[in-house]
Amino acid sequence: MSSLKKNLDELQKLAKERTVKTQNIEYDLETLVKKIDKKVIKLDPEYQRNHRWNEETSSKLIESLILNIPVPLIYISQDIDVDDEVDDDIPRYSVIDGQQRLTAIFNFMTNNLPLEGMEVLKPLNGSFYRDLPPFLVRRLEERTIKCLRIDSTLDPQVKYDIFERLNSGSVKLEAQELRNAIYRGPFNKMIKELAKNEDFRVLNQIDLAAPDESKKVQKMEDVELVLRFFALHNNNYKNLKKGFKTFLSESMEQFNKLSGAELRIYSEKFTKTMALIRKEFGDKAFAKYRLEDGKFVKMSNFNAAVYDSLAIAIVDCVDLNNPQLLDLTFENFRQLFADPEFFEWVSGSVNDREKVSRRIEAAKELLTK
């Protein structure tokens, strides 16, 4: 207790600094859409995830709104005080929780979403907002949504804390989506850009014509694979001691401290590695195979464990400015799958510490013979 009394001043200071100031407000949908359209409300701050709702899920929200069924609270952050003068293209509010709902509402009320999968209002299936009868237009425009507005604060960390707490212990966010929310910084921005690299997308079997339709992109699994590359490269896979998720998160926190020059070197390593692998091993370089009756049978076009073994072996063992792959070809790399041990190292619980190390070392041996 004496220790608590001793630290009382610091505790009071912390409590005062980190206390969240909130205000309950209600917006009608017409006002919300106008604010989003004018960029007064920003739907996609950097800590948010990509829009993942499909048309049916979005339509069911619209149906709920028409039927006046209660919907969850929207959390928004007031980033700029209403009395401050700023350029028109600078948003005053950002969405902390409710991005999927607001995006669905905005898309529908701007005629970019046809209704489908409606269960009660079935006659509306196939309709756009412009097709609604006037009474439903009025009902939607005047329907209100409750929002909790987090006011401007001296500590910008607060809104990130709220975002993390709203999603902790739930299945709302994938692992990389949560890292994107928590470990923001220059490295986080870089890996999101590198995930759009053409060679990487082709090797990852993401359709270049419609990348946003890929589940990997929607769940940020592609970004996690880029993080995985950097976390394991430079022999750092030998430092994998805790769980793999923790390993990736701690790596991301560390990499956000890199300088601009170091980040440029990292970016170049990644792009050169992916270009070299695609050139030498083809578009399905990270496919997984099984040896059956003396023949290799392809099990998948992309496998993350195979990605580990080949990509890390290349980046760690090859001079990317003067690449000499020696005798390593697609055919003799594929021979690794004939080894039951290697097949085991790319199967099952592939993030196991020993499996990660063994499969990378096996590929490295081919490069260092």
Query: Same domain, yes or no, for 94 and 25?
Result: yes
Q: Which of 169, 186, 208 is the last residue of a domain?
A: 169
What per-residue confidence (pLDDT) applies to 47? Answer: 52
Angstrom distance (rounded) from CA 360 to CA 307: 9
Q: Is residue 3 part of a domain?
A: no
Please count the residues of the chain.
Answer: 369
Residue of 212 and 7 predicted with greater confidence: 212
Amino acid residing at 74: I
Say yes or no: 364 and 309 in one domain: yes
Whole-Å CA distances, 358 to 142, 199, 343: 61, 26, 11
102 in the same domain as 119: yes
**1 found inside a domain:** no
Q: Please identify which residue in the block is written with the tokens 């910008």.
A: 156
Do 337 and 234 fall within a single domain?
Answer: yes
Q: In this prediction, what percent of the chain has a pLDDT beyond 90?
A: 53
Same-domain pairing of 232 and 189? yes
Residue 170's pLDDT is 43
Residue 2 resides in a domain: no
Contact by Cβ (8 Å): 362, 336: yes
Look at residue 169 in the predicted model and tell me its pLDDT. 45
Per-residue pLDDT tens for 225-284?
999 999 999 999 999 987 898 899 889 989 999 999 999 999 999 999 999 999 989 999
Residues 277 and 318 in one domain: yes
Domain that holds residue 288: 177-368
CA–CA dist 127, 6 (Å, integer): 65
Bridge partners of 289, per DSSP, are 298
Asked if residue 28 has pLDDT above 90, the reply is yes
Q: What is the pLDDT of residue 288?
A: 95
pTM score of the predicted model: 0.62
Block residue for tokens 């601009």:
260
Q: How confident is the model at residue 94 (pLDDT cuts 50, 70, 90)?
A: confident
Domain limit, last residue, from 169, 192, 209: 169
Task: Return mean pLDDT, the chain.
Answer: 85
Angle at 240 between CA 238 and CA 243, to 5 degrees: 165
Residue 311 is predicted with a pLDDT of: 96
Q: Are 347 and 253 in the same domain?
A: yes
One domain for residues 331 and 197: yes
Specify if 40 maps to a domain. yes
Q: Give the number of other Cβ atoms within 10 Å of residue 218's Cβ.
A: 19
Taking the C-alpha atoms of residue 239 and residue 325, their distance in angstroms, rounded to an integer, is 26
How many domains does the chain contain in total? 2
Question: Is 151 inside any structural domain?
Answer: yes
Bridge partners, 288 (sequence order)? 300
Share of the chain residues as helix, strand and coil, in percent rounded to the nearest 5: 55, 10, 35
Per-residue pLDDT tens over the stretch 284-294: 999 999 999 88
Same domain, 265 and 155: no
Question: For the segment 103-160, what is each residue's pLDDT rounded down to a tens digit?
Answer: 999 999 999 999 998 888 889 999 999 999 999 999 999 999 998 887 755 455 565 5
Helices 304-317 and 353-368: crossing angle, nearest 10°? Answer: 50
Residues 226 and 143 in one domain: no
pLDDT at res. 171? 41
Of the candidates 134, 153, 169, which is a domain's last residue? 169
